[in-house]
């Protein structure tokens, strides 16, 4: 169904849009089926683009929106790609909007007194389009941003990306064709707006056509934007070429926004730090927080790791990661940042299945215990519950998904990574060669990162890594 709001146009806009919730992650609840589900709504402002019909305005800034003057009008919305009539009803002195706010290849038809008088097909070519990102999140933006350029390439439009200034500064060097604006600002003459996010409750089909728990964090976005559903890596460039830390090092990040994301093996990080140091590496912890938690759950920097924590600029993190041999982290923002830099990532996670994050050959999970609650469509994540463990909270099995990931399993993954990438922490520093999974542009911009032999690593031989290489090559050619 589509929404028709009778009233004066100004009142209709106000009635149609409830207060905006912070970000795009509206707090989920485990309410019963009989309870009302509240979905996020956004304030898209008034409809301002004029049509050839006096009194009728039209845009696509929150789904299709059409203001209708008083009279005997009839409105029809059509999804051209599926040949489906989405709305077909009389209208007078009201705002008519689609309930679906994600990308749909719309056709709008208007009739008056039974006669066809106006039609408009969505045409983004040469238009200003706003892709709106939430604030206060890192990994989500890293996952979702690459599709902005794909959308621009597909439709030939001018894309404006609204996000925090710091994140915009990270992306601008590699994406000069995109425009960046501050949050809560609107491009001039904005024809269409699309809202990036994973929307809660996960049954929200107004802002996303699929359940993100099934398709994964990143791949929810190509569904929202009507793009090919393929993984795309963001390109992040270091700001300087020189290597500040001469010795070989590995970066780790152990903190997260929910206890379920942590590696809850109490000895895990301590043993891994000791193991990396025994190999000859310096181990740098680059979390924002040295100690983080809520209530009875608190997590501190691993003993033996070098303290590079703090609220440091993200560009500084990118510069440090660019020269690391590899990164070890969780299903959290800094893992996505490291992936964007183009270095190998060891990801430790049990509450998500691998489909939720980017592909890495070095994913660590133990399937012998409870796992995958985040990607279970029968479970709804509760943001306000830091100790969320929906199946075993307050039982001896709480957080067993990562408590039973052993340091030995992670060590084996590290050994395989080092063999694949021909890494030797006792090597002499030398000029770098091509990065086998990063883009050529990113590799050229981060000299000194690692020494590799001319032989391709084994990891690059599997199909997924080849796809990443081809994609990265295509990015550079487009530039």
The tens place of each residue's pLDDT in the chain, 479 residues long, gives 444 444 443 343 333 333 333 333 333 434 344 356 689 999 999 999 999 999 999 999 999 999 999 999 999 999 999 999 999 999 999 999 999 999 999 999 999 999 999 999 999 999 999 999 999 999 999 999 999 999 999 999 999 999 999 999 999 999 999 999 999 999 999 999 999 999 999 999 999 999 999 999 999 999 999 999 999 999 999 999 999 999 999 999 999 999 999 999 999 999 999 999 999 999 999 999 999 999 999 999 999 999 999 999 999 999 999 999 999 999 999 999 999 999 999 999 999 999 999 999 999 999 999 999 999 999 999 999 999 999 999 999 999 999 999 999 999 999 999 999 999 999 865 544 444 444 333 333 333 334 443 334 444 444 444 444 444 444 333 33
d(CA 152, CA 129): 9
- Write out the catalytic residue numbers: 140
d(CA 276, CA 268): 12
Structure tokens at 150: 């794909």
Pairing of strands 115-121, 106-112: antiparallel
Q: What is the pTM of this model?
A: 0.84
3-class secondary structure per residue, the chain: CCEEEECCHHHHHHHHCCCCCCCCCCCCCCCCCCCCCCCCCCCCCCCCCECCCCCCEEEEECECEEEECCCCEEEEEEECCCCEEEEEEEECCEEEECCCCCCCCEEEEEEECCEEEEEEECCCCCCEEEEECCCCCCHHHHHHCHHHHHHHHHHCCEEEEECCHHHHHHHHHHCCCCEEECCCCCCCCEEEEEECCCCCCCCCCCCCCCCHHHHCCCCHHHHHHCCCCCCCCCCCCCCCCCCCCCCCEEEECCCCCCHHHCCCCCCHHHHHHHHHHHHCCEEEECCCCCEEEECCEEEECCCCCEECCCCCCHHHHHHHHHCCCCEEECCCHHHHHHHHHCCCEEEECCCCCHHHCCCCCCEECCCCCCCCCCCCCCCCCCCCCCCCCCCCCCCCCCCHHHHCCCHHHHHHHHHHHHHHCCCCCCCCCCCCCCCCCCCHHHHHCCCCCCCCCCCCCHHHHCHHHHHHHHHHHHHHHHC
Inter-CA distances, 40 with 23, 58, 362, Å? 9, 23, 36
Query: How high is the pLDDT of residue 8?
Result: 40
Could you give the count of Cα atoms lying within 13 Å of 344 in the half-sphere of its Cβ? 26
Task: Identify whether the C-beta of residue 341 lies closer than 8 Å to the C-beta of residue 319.
Answer: no
φ, ψ of residue 3 to 5 degrees: the values are -100, 130
Structure tokens at 236: 């992040």
d(CA 97, CA 59): 10
Beta bridge partners of 130: 160, 193
Query: How high is the pLDDT of residue 427?
Result: 83
d(CA 160, CA 173): 15
Could you give the count of Cα atoms lying within 13 Å of 300 in the half-sphere of its Cβ? 4
Task: Identify whether the C-beta of residue 393 lies closer than 8 Å to the C-beta of residue 387.
Answer: yes
CB proximity list for 367: less than 8 A, separation 6 or greater? none
Task: Identify whether the C-beta of residue 205 lies closer than 8 Å to the C-beta of residue 220.
Answer: no
Q: Which residues of 329-359 are buried (b: 16+ CB within 10 A; e: fewer)?
A: bbbbbbbbbbbbbbbbbbbbbbbbbbebbbb
CB proximity list for 195: less than 8 A, separation 6 or greater? 24, 42, 62, 101, 102, 132, 207, 224
- End-to-end CA, the chain: 42
Q: Which residue has the tokens 């509206």?
A: 26
Query: How high is the pLDDT of residue 397?
Result: 98
φ, ψ of residue 215 to 5 degrees: the values are -100, -20
Inter-CA distances, 310 with 136, 314, 365, Å? 16, 11, 28
Q: From 159, 349, 134, select the one nearest 263 (Cα to Cα).
A: 349
């Amino acid at each position: 169904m589509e929404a028709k709001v009778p009233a004066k146009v100004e009142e209709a806009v106000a009635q149609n849009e409830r207060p905006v919730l912070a970000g795009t992650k509206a707090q989920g609840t485990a309410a019963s089926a009989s309870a009302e589900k509240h979905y996020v709504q956004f304030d898209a402002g008034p409809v301002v683009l004029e049509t050839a019909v006096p009194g009728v305005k039209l845009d696509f800034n929150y789904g299709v929106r059409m203001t209708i003057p008083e009279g005997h009008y009839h409105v029809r919305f059509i999804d051209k790609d599926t040949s489906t009539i989405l709305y077909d009803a009389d209208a007078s002195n009201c705002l008519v909007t689609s309930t679906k706010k994600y990308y749909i290849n719309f056709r709008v038809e208007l009739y008056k007194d039974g006669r066809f008088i106006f039609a408009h097909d969505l045409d983004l070519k040469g238009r200003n389009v706003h892709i709106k990102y939430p604030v206060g999140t890192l990994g989500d933006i890293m996952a979702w941003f690459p599709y902005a350029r794909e959308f621009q390439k597909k439709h030939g439009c001018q894309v404006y990306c609204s996000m925090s200034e710091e994140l915009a500064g990270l992306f601008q060097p590699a994406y000069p064709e995109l425009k960046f604006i501050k949050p809560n600002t609107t491009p001039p003459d904005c024809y269409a707006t699309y809202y990036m996010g994973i929307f809660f409750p996960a049954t929200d089909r107004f802002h996303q056509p699929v359940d993100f728990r099934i398709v994964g964090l990143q791949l929810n976005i190509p569904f929202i934007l009507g793009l090919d559903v393929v993984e795309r890596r963001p390109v992040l460039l270091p700001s300087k070429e020189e290597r500040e830390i001469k010795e070989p090092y590995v970066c780790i990040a152990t903190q997260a926004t929910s206890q379920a994301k942590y590696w809850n093996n109490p000895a895990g990080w301590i043993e891994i730090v000791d193991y990396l140091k025994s190999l000859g590496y310096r181990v740098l912890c680059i979390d924002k927080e040295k100690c983080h938690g809520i209530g009875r759950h608190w997590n501190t920097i691993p003993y033996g790791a070098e303290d590079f924590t703090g609220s440091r600029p993200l560009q500084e993190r990118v510069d440090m990661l660019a020269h690391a041999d590899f990164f070890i982290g969780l299903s959290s923002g800094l893992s996505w940042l490291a992936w964007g830099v183009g270095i190998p990532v060891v990801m430790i996670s049990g509450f998500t299945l691998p489909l939720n994050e980017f592909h890495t050959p070095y994913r660590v999970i133990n399937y012998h215990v409870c796992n995958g609650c985040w990607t279970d469509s029968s479970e709804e994540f509760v943001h306000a519950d830091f100790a969320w463990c929906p199946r075993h909270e307050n039982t001896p099995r709480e957080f067993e998904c990562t408590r039973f990931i052993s340091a030995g399993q992670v060590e084996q993954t590290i050994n395989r990574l080092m063999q694949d990438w021909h890494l030797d922490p006792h090597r002499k520093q030398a000029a770098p060669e091509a990065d086998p999974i990063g883009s050529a542009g990113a590799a050229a911009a981060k000299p000194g990162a690692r020494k590799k032999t001319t032989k391709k690593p084994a990891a690059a031989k599997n199909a997924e890594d080849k796809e990443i290489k081809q994609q990265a090559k295509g990015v550079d050619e487009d530039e």
